[in-house]
Chain A
Amino acid sequence: MNPTDLPAAVERDANFNFGYLDERTKRMIRRAILKAVAIPGYQVPFGSREMPLPYGWGTGGIQVTASVIGPQDVLKVIDQGADDTVNAVSIRRFFQRTTGVAVTERTVEATLIQTRHRIPETPLAEGQVIVYQVPVPEPLQRLEPRETETRRMHGLAEYGLMHVKLYEDIARYGHVATTYDYPVMVDGRYLMAPSPIPKFDNPKLHMNPALQLFGAGREKRIYAVPPWTSVESLAFEDHPFEVQRWSQPCALCGSTQSFLDEVIVDDRGGRMFVCSDTDWCRQRRPADA
């Protein structure tokens, strides 16, 4: 990043409580988080509040982050893998303003990462917390919109509906036609929506040393994957789970192991592929790039 592009420092606004939420609300959310950690993959209803940002724009993640953040935390916020997309900037500014904590773009420096749609390429470490923004926490919602029904299915671990959906994909297309928010089984018990991360990221959920928290503000649910928990992407023996691959490396850093975004560079079909994880890409490039 060019030094002149560095964002202006955001002052802590003392008119607001630390992390915006009042302490009672934070306690209520922490209780929901504790329950979620105790029952990996189970969606815990919580008294989601109206936040100063719109529902559907990360209010669940924001409430979770606001409830676990402390003055010593170092916060990283990404959207689509990038620290500089507008919504990530907006959420980071919100926490700078309401907590005054240090922020970073480096995955390794962060103690707390709030993310939308990606898991960083840099492996997470023990002690880190990653908070996912979740639009639709119920993996079965598109198959069965009634929550009274889906709760029963979770209770009975009756996930045939999802298996049939995957099977129908295979029968029709020869492969599963879900590319993001690909359903996973947590700790062999609960079917879980990993949020709309590309299925490329699904393997990173499995046995991750970091604490993974999921917040759905509009739908008022919190769930969690504790460190070192098994997370399996649904598949069949003869149709194993596969992730996306690209035929070319990142045009900027040459990475062949990262998720690539396609950038259209002209109106004649020209395009390039670059890492969606901007920190990963930057760390791999020479300092003068």
Chain B
Amino acid sequence: MYVAVKGGERAILNSYALLGEVRRGDPALPELSLEQIREQLRLAVDRVMCEGSVYDPELAALAIKQAAGDLVEAIFLLRAYRATLPRLGYTLPLDTAHMRLWRRVSATFKDLPGGQLLGSTYDYTQRLLDFSLAAAGEAPVAAQAAPAAAEAVPRVVDLLGDEGLIEAHVPAAGDPEPRDLTREPLTFPAERAVRLQNLARGDEGFLLAMGYSTQRGYSHSHPFAGEIRHGLAEVEIEPEELGFAISIGDLELTECQMVNQFAGSKTQPPQFTRGYGLAFGASERKAMAMSLVDRALRAGELGEAAESPAQMQEFVLSHSDSLEASGFVQHLKLPHYVDFQAELELVRRMRAGLQAAGEEEERAA
């Protein structure tokens, strides 16, 4: 007799248990600790914090462990956790010019105040599998590990700005409170502050592809990596009852300032324009892709025709979120018996109609 989908609840409970077992893998091997994930998979932790919109390496490590290394799933776990947290207040704007830098490179100037600082990067490694890592070797020791002193290293864009060569970005009159995308829905057209929030949470792969498309003729913006810096920025809040700012800790950040061409207009002399990217941790690919997309999305404001996908706000901002995309793509595996039945009935009816028409034609012939 017809049993169909009965027993769904038991199946779900059993799948929980199976999932736990599969996640753990061979129990003869030692279990991963959160400290190990945080310390040894730190770039994964950074990505999960960034797209999960929570700066908490411990929780990100937990999410990665729980998700068995599926970073999009880990991001989902962290977002679901943060959704009901209260919002206690705002920080003051981060001063990235005063970051304590681990890395700082500029592709626009050979040398500049503060110098170039290569830091830890995969950029110039030769991508040869290092078999010594397969056998646990001794921990390598860096020549200089600690962050550089907290002296201000001027940002390239500020150096260009002193000469008026790059557009100035001053907050709008009255410095209005930016909308909070985690509390208010995205509406169009979205102002830049909202767009940047969206991109900061956006899926790295999606932004990478979108940014890449601007380099291949879909809205070329002549980008130069003015500066990429990675280090620690101090977070300050100004409690109302105090009336002055206090530091509450440091955030590890990667900032990318992309410098783009702009021919000028009737009212503006030719000058460079900016694209901006900011990400938690060491997330250079993300910050760079974000800055390309940010610049592309400024098409309207700069009087450029929005003809390519990366320039279209609705296209980019509505599809950048990995939770939304992953959820909706994968919802296709949910039952659709009813809709499919409705379509089956329609297709059969249309085929019957065609067949009847064909037979009629034959008779007439």
In the assembled complex, the Cα of A135 lies from the Cα of B83 at a distance in Å of: 20
Give the residues in chain B near A128, CB-CB below 8 Å: none
Knowing A81-B338, A180-B339, A260-B341, the reply to whether A5 touches B6 (Cβ < 8 A) is yes
Give the residues in chain A near B80, CB-CB below 8 Å: 50-52
Inter-chain contact B187/A45, CB cutoff 8 Å? yes
* Chain A contacts with B in 76-132, Cβ cutoff 8 A: 79-82, 84-90, 93, 116-118
Pick out which of these stretches binds chain A: B27-35, B139-147, B160-168, B321-329: B321-329
In the assembled complex, the Cα of A21 lies from the Cα of B84 at a distance in Å of: 6
* Chain A contacts with B in 1-55, Cβ cutoff 8 A: 1, 5, 7-8, 17, 20-22, 24-25, 45-52, 54-55
Tell me whether A145 is interfacial, beta carbon within 8 Å: yes
Give the residues in chain A near B329, CB-CB below 8 Å: 56
In the assembled complex, the Cα of A200 lies from the Cα of B345 at a distance in Å of: 12
Give the residues in chain A near B2, CB-CB below 8 Å: 251-252, 263, 272, 274
Pick out which of these stretches binds chain B: A154-162, A171-179, A207-215, A225-233: A171-179
In the assembled complex, the Cα of A22 lies from the Cα of B82 at a distance in Å of: 12
A1 touches which of B6, B188, B334, B344 (Cβ 8 Å)? B6
Pick out which of these stretches binds chain A: B7-15, B97-105, B109-117, B249-257: B7-15
Inter-chain contact B184/A47, CB cutoff 8 Å? yes
In the assembled complex, the Cα of A91 lies from the Cα of B61 at a distance in Å of: 27
In the assembled complex, the Cα of A87 lies from the Cα of B10 at a distance in Å of: 13
Nearest CB in chain A: distance from B296 CB, A: 17
Tell me whether A168 is interfacial, beta carbon within 8 Å: no
Inter-chain contact A54/B331, CB cutoff 8 Å? yes
Inter-chain contact B5/A135, CB cutoff 8 Å? no
Inter-chain contact A50/B82, CB cutoff 8 Å? yes
Inter-chain contact B337/A80, CB cutoff 8 Å? yes
Inter-chain contact B353/A174, CB cutoff 8 Å? yes
Secondary structure class of chain B's binding surface, majority of residues: helix
Nearest CB in chain A: distance from B300 CB, A: 12
Chain B residue with Cβ nearest A272:
B2
In the assembled complex, the Cα of A45 lies from the Cα of B184 at a distance in Å of: 8
A87 touches which of B84, B323, B328, B335 (Cβ 8 Å)? B335
Secondary structure class of chain A's binding surface, majority of residues: loop
Instruction: Count chain B CB atoms within 10 A of each CB in A8, A55, A251 and give the residue with the most.
Output: A55
Give the residues in chain B near A180, CB-CB below 8 Å: 338-339, 342-343
Tell me whether A148 is interfacial, beta carbon within 8 Å: yes
By the criterion of a CB under 8 Å from any partner CB, how many residues of chain A are at the interface? 69
Inter-chain contact A55/B339, CB cutoff 8 Å? no
Give the residues in chain B near A181, CB-CB below 8 Å: 339
A25 touches which of B13, B84, B335, B339 (Cβ 8 Å)? B84
Interface string of A187-200 (1 = CB under 8 A from B): 00000000011111
Nearest CB in chain A: distance from B24 CB, A: 22
* Chain B contacts with A in 36-86, Cβ cutoff 8 A: 76, 79-80, 82-84, 86
Give the residues in chain B near A145, CB-CB below 8 Å: 314
In the assembled complex, the Cα of A261 lies from the Cα of B188 at a distance in Å of: 41
Tell me whether A220 is interfacial, beta carbon within 8 Å: yes
Inter-chain contact B6/A177, CB cutoff 8 Å? no
In the assembled complex, the Cα of A136 lies from the Cα of B173 at a distance in Å of: 38
Tell me whether A276 is interfacial, beta carbon within 8 Å: yes
For this complex, 13 residue pairs linking A to B, each with C-beta atoms less than 8 Å apart, are: A1-B6, A45-B185, A46-B185, A55-B323, A84-B8, A85-B335, A86-B335, A135-B328, A148-B314, A179-B339, A179-B345, A263-B2, A276-B337
Q: Which residues of B contact A (CB under 8 A)?
A: 2, 4-13, 76, 79-80, 82-84, 86, 182-189, 314, 318, 323-324, 326-331, 334-339, 341-346, 350, 353
The 3 closest A-B pairs by CB, nearest first: A55-B327, A56-B331, A179-B342
